[in-house]
Structure 1
Amino acid sequence: MPDITHDEWLRRAKTFEVSGAHHIDGADEDGGGGVFAAVSPRDGQVVTEIADGGAAEVDAAVAAARRAFDTGPWPRLAPAERGRVLVRIADLLEERREALALAVSLEMGKPITDAYDIELRAAINTFRWYGQLADKLTDESPHSAPDALALITREPSGVVGAVVPWNFPLTLASWKIAPALAAGCTVVLKPSENSPLSALLLGRLATEAGLPPGVLNVVNGNGPVAGRALGLHPDVDVLAFTGSTAVGRHFLRYAADSNLKRVWLELGGKSPNIILPDAPDLEKAAATAAWGIFFNQGEMCTAPSRLLVHSSIAERVVEAVVARARQLRVGDPLDPATEMGALVGEAHLSRVRDHIGTGLDEGARLRAGGRRILTGTGGTYLEPTVFDRVESGMRLAREEIFGPVLSVLAFDDLDEAVRLANATEYGLAAGLWTSDLSTAHRVSRALKAGTVWVNCYEEGDLTVPFGGMKQSGNGRDKSVHAIEKYTELKTTWIQL
């Protein structure tokens, strides 16, 4: 991140302005509904008012996307030309990186350093990568009968509804928008009501980059109204959602009750992080375990919230994690030195604290944290929290907390570790620390998770897919495989 002081970020925050209007058909629209306040979790203050969309605004956005797909130029452009527009979006994201990072930090409490270095880097790289991929996708012509020609072509699916959460508002929006646009689809984006600022800036920036009107629309609003309207809309061909498993079920029902649109889901997680006695670097494993659960305030579906440690090294590892938790600098997200910012809001903080209380009631041992702090700021801050002596039947070990709360479970042998790791309805990610190559391969295959990190955590790039198994969802974001969600295979058989 550039050398910008805390005072300078505070000055910029005081003068930060963004229109809360929807972005529909290439223009800002206030809509006919009311407004809601965008409240910053760093201090509880209102940043701006946001147009509150409902069925009428969703109808307008979908109609614009349908026109743009059915009669507009976007699906008919040469793929290389679509790619050039996506690269221009990436360039503008880079150009406005500081303002966008500020928006993310203000709206959801992410430390400004992480917003700039991680969130914006991911969004920029995503648009650039899919922009460069757009003209490198190929169709197929299998060897068929000698008197026939068979063609298998990928065609854009149509109008895509994308509903994204607040924890990585630009990253997760980009993971859906960029491949959909590269494929030739049009998009209606419904950001979380907790993080509309960065999504609105992205929509306007994309229009500025040369995206034709109606190709990317942004509609604000809450899930039960605007999200439901998008899920039920008969002119939406594909729905891509990242969020809770409970809400994912709603989108499947919406599809069943409307036009049987395809629904792609990236849902919750309760990811295990297994540390074996032969870990190549036990200090690094412990430090990574602490970083993984406290990064982004623990508000990550892939957070390694269950630390599974061999009983012979459990206390050593837990002591190292606890020491890191107590050293972690929690504070104002706009301070570049802050390592953990604010949770997204009062309601979410209350839910996380309820889980902490339940853990104590169930008999787990609190080793660090557990308290709300910095109450005088008006923000929603929580101490990094560590429980050990957690049993697999406890809610701490079963339910997604989505906060900076680590549950430590001890095991005595590898088979027990795998059983504990898989003893969850989720299957998004997992970690494994070992020096044995055979163990790495065997355990990775045994873990029911879409991603397994060995001797690391949260690593990867856009060349590899991301998504879950079991109740963590279906389909994949990132990589060439994401294109599959936004295209239809067509077979053409030509008799010669």
Structure 2
Amino acid sequence: MILPEAKLYVDGKVRQAEGGKTYDVLGPWTGEVVTKAADASAADVEESIAAARRAFDETDWSTNHAKRFELVKKFRDLIKANNDRMVQIARVEAGAAIGATYAAHVNNAVDGMDALIDLFPEVKWEEDRGRASAMGGKYLSDRKIVYEAIGVAAAITPWNVPLYVNLGKVIAGLLAGCTMILKPAPNTPSAATILGELALEAGFPAGVFNVITSEDPAMAGELLTKDARVDLVTFTGSTLVGKKIMENGAPTLKRVFLELGGKSANIILDDAPNFAMAVASSMVVFHAGQGCAICTRVLVPESRYQEALAILEQAYAGFADKWGKFDEPTSIMGPVISKKQMDRVLSYVELGQKEGARVLAGGKARPDKGGGYFIEPTCFVDVKNDMRIAQEEIFGPVLVVIPYKDDEDAIRIANDTTYGLSGMVQGSAERAQKVAKRLRTGSVSVNGGMCIAGDLPFGGYKGSGIGREWGREGIEEFLESKVIATGVPA
């Protein structure tokens, strides 16, 4: 083992699961055990729900804004002080290359946490809506809106950038005044359980924050999403599981907000400021393509299609020896998370060829890189947008290249998907803005603009989700609004 055992954090205590049960966590780089994690039972999940419910109902966590703000800031400081541990967890457990670790995995997570804390003073807790009359002026009311925490919130998080997603949900929910239960993916428990340790050190009241880990990917989630004591579920993961969570929450009418899959398009216009650079940088290699907002379809003009293919062929050839190295500081691509995911990606490579697309680069597993789960950066060309490799989220280092006739055709192709999470447009400024405004997607980068940041709302259209994370909007997702009207003499 490389990492310490990942333990539960329930009702203010860091502890083992019922009966001391654990499971092995395999590292993506080696395929070998890197830690053991507490394997929670249904009774452990029940205790976490009861603790969170009690902490919300019987303490002043939800109403004492100043107190919890100070505790969350202390929590933030402890997370920053443990930066080296966070980096080690991301590298060993999530399979992040160093270049990806010091970007999306840890630095962006910490920056986003800072942004949420900075935005907290902007959240309104009470709003005066003025005096109004009714019934022909016989009745007057002074009206105000009070915003308050919804209650107990369950956060179910994925394995791709676990610390980033964990902090986006947990910090926002805690700042809003909710009590939280965090259930991470089985592959990446440590990025969650370390937060439990630090919450205890920060002095959080018992039950305010709880962390449950389990080898079973569904058991704890099923209990959390069906229990009437849980008021809200926030989930990041696949669209299929998101639909199941909505179904589970329907009988108790839970609030559910979801950040789901993506098949985002990168539209490169024929007048892009640096066409060659735009095309070359469209390679799907960052964190082995394991990001929901990564643009995995690149749309290039038919008039420059062959030019684009030549650029990509050269770019992939130049990247061939720059990935899959654990100790290389500039590397941004390592393995995929598991053998199951590797098999899934390779099955799509096979499918794409059967559909008639051509492999321009990559397409093979690379066991020579080590005992883990390595797949070459892969690029498909001669792709039609109705192919499954162009429509379904592969979640691996696979790019598909699709030609388009004109701007209208590019917009049509980009929007012709069940997803709508992110996107890119590169071209002359005014033209690119016009295209961006017509994309049915939650965020768009124009000419390299950073559309995903901790102070901006993030989420999708269509099958990419419901609601927003990050930004002030991400905190407000955890709030209810209450109207209070007080009668006054006419």
1:288-312 alpha-carbon deviations (Å, 9 max, x no partner) = 312xx21111001111111110012
Q: Secondary structure at the match of 1:355?
A: helix
Q: Does 1:114 align with 2:97?
A: no
Change (3 A) 1:366 1:100: same
- Spell out the pairing of 1:252-401 with structure 2 (5 A cutoff): 252-257=246-251, 259-290=252-283, 293-328=284-319, 329-375=322-368, 377-401=370-394
Match of 1:226 among 213, 216, 220: 220
2:202 corresponds to: 209
2-structure distance, mates of 1:213, 1:347: 37
Tell me the distance in 2 between the aligned counterparts of 1:57 and 1:301. Answer: 31
Superposition pairs of residues 426-465 of structure 1, within 5 angstroms: 426-437=419-430, 439-456=431-448, 459-465=451-457
Give the secondary structure class of the aligned counterpart of 1:145. strand
2:137 matched residue in structure 1: none
Equivalent residue of 1:142, what SS? strand
| Structure 2 CA distance for partners of 1:22 and 1:195, relative to 1, 3 Å | same
1:176-215 equivalent positions in 2, closer than 5 A: 176-215=169-208
Structure 1 residue 26 corresponds to structure 2 residue 12: yes
- How far apart, in 2, do the equivalents of 1:281 and 1:149 lie? 59
Q: Contact (CA 8 Å) 1:83, 1:133: kept in 2 or not?
A: no
Q: How many residues align?
A: 477
Hey, what does 1:55 align to over in structure 2?
42
Partner of 2:401: 408
Query: Which digits, 9 at most, give the CA deviation of each residue in 1:316-370, with x for residues without a partner?
Result: 2233233222333122334424331010000000000000000111110110001
Amino acid at match of 2:160: N
Choose 21-30 or 377-386, whichever is displaced more.
21-30
Cα contact 1:288–1:457 (8 A) shared by 2: no
Q: 1:288 to 1:144 in 2, by over 3 A?
A: farther
**Counterpart-to-counterpart distance in 1, 2:270 and 2:291:** 27
Kindly state the Cα deviation for residue 376 of structure 1 after the two structures are TM-superposed. 6.0
Asked if 1:167 corresponds to 2:160, the answer is: yes
* 1:73/1:212 contact within 8 Å kept: no
Query: Deviation at 1:460?
Result: 3.6
Structure 1 stretch displaced more, 135-144 or 481-490:
135-144
Partner of 2:239: 245
Which residue of the partner structure matches residue 235 of structure 1? 229
Tell me, in whole angstroms, the C-alpha distance in 2 between the residues paired with 1:348 and 1:355: 11
- Aligned residue runs from structure 1 range 416-431, under 5 A: 416-431=409-424
How far apart are residue 134 of structure 1 and its match? 2.7
3-state SS in 2 of match to 1:50: strand
Letter in 1 for 2:472: V
Question: Measured at CA, do residues 375 and 103 of structure 1 come closer, stay the same or move farther in structure 2, by a change above 3 Å?
Answer: same
- TM-score, reference length from structure 2: 0.94
Query: Are 1:82 and 1:131, in contact at CA under 8 Å, matched by a contact in 2?
Result: no
- More displaced 10-residue stretch of structure 1: 225-234 or 454-463: 454-463
1:227/1:415 Cα in 2 relative to 1: closer, same or farther (>3 Å)?
Answer: same
C-alpha displacement at 1:394, in angstroms?
0.8
**Preserved contact between residue 93 and residue 120 of structure 1 (Cα < 8 Å):** no
Secondary structure at 1:440 match in 2:
helix
Aligned equivalents of 1:281, 1:391: Cα separation in 2: 25
Cα distance change, pair 276–17 in 1 and its aligned pair in 2 (3 A): closer
Matched, 1:37 2:37: no
Q: Which structure 2 residue ranges, 5 or more long, are not aligned? A: 134-139
Conserved 8 A contact 1:67-1:214: yes
For residues 477 and 142 of structure 2, the distance between their equivalents in structure 1, rounded to whole angstroms, comes to 27
Q: Deviations over 1:348-400 (max 9, x none)?
A: 00000000000111110110001111446211111100011001111111111
- CA distance in 2 between counterparts of 1:454 and 1:334 reads 33
Amino acid at match of 1:474: I
Offset of residue 314 of structure 1? 2.0
Please say if 1:134 is aligned against 2:120. Answer: yes
Shift of 1:58: 1.2
Counterpart selection for 2:468 from 476, 486, 495: 476
Give the counterpart letter for 2:219 in structure 1: V
* Cα deviation digits, residues 112-139 of structure 1 (max 9, x gap): 3321343212222233222233333222
Aligned residue identity for 2:313: V
Aligned partner of 1:307: which letter?
V
Give 4+ residue runs of structure 1 displaced > 6 Å after superposition: none
**Does structure 2 conserve the Cα–Cα contact (< 8 Å) formed by 1:269 and 1:400?**
yes
Which residue number in structure 2 is paired with residue 487 of structure 1?
A: 479
Q: CA deviation at 1:415?
A: 1.1
Shift, 1:99, TM fit: 1.2
C-alpha change, 1:155 and 1:96, in structure 2 (3 Å) is same
Which digits, 9 at most, give the CA deviation of each residue in 1:215-255, with x for residues without a partner? 11110123321111111111100000000000001101111
CA RMSD of aligned residues (A): 1.7
Secondary structure, counterpart of 1:69 in structure 2: helix
Task: Report Cα offsets for 1:66-114 as digits up to 9, x if no partner.
Answer: 111111232232x233222222222222211111111111112111332
Cα distance in 2 for partners of 1:93, 1:20 equals 16
Q: 1:95 is matched with which residue?
A: 81
| Letter matched to residue 45 of structure 2 | V
Cα separation, partners in 2 of 1:457 and 1:223, compared to 1, 3 Å? farther
Task: Give 1:459 deviation, angstroms.
Answer: 4.1
Shift of 1:272: 0.7
**Could you give the per-residue CA deviations for residues 420-464 of structure 1, whole angstroms, max 9, x where no partner exists?**
111110011111111041x23332222110111111265442221
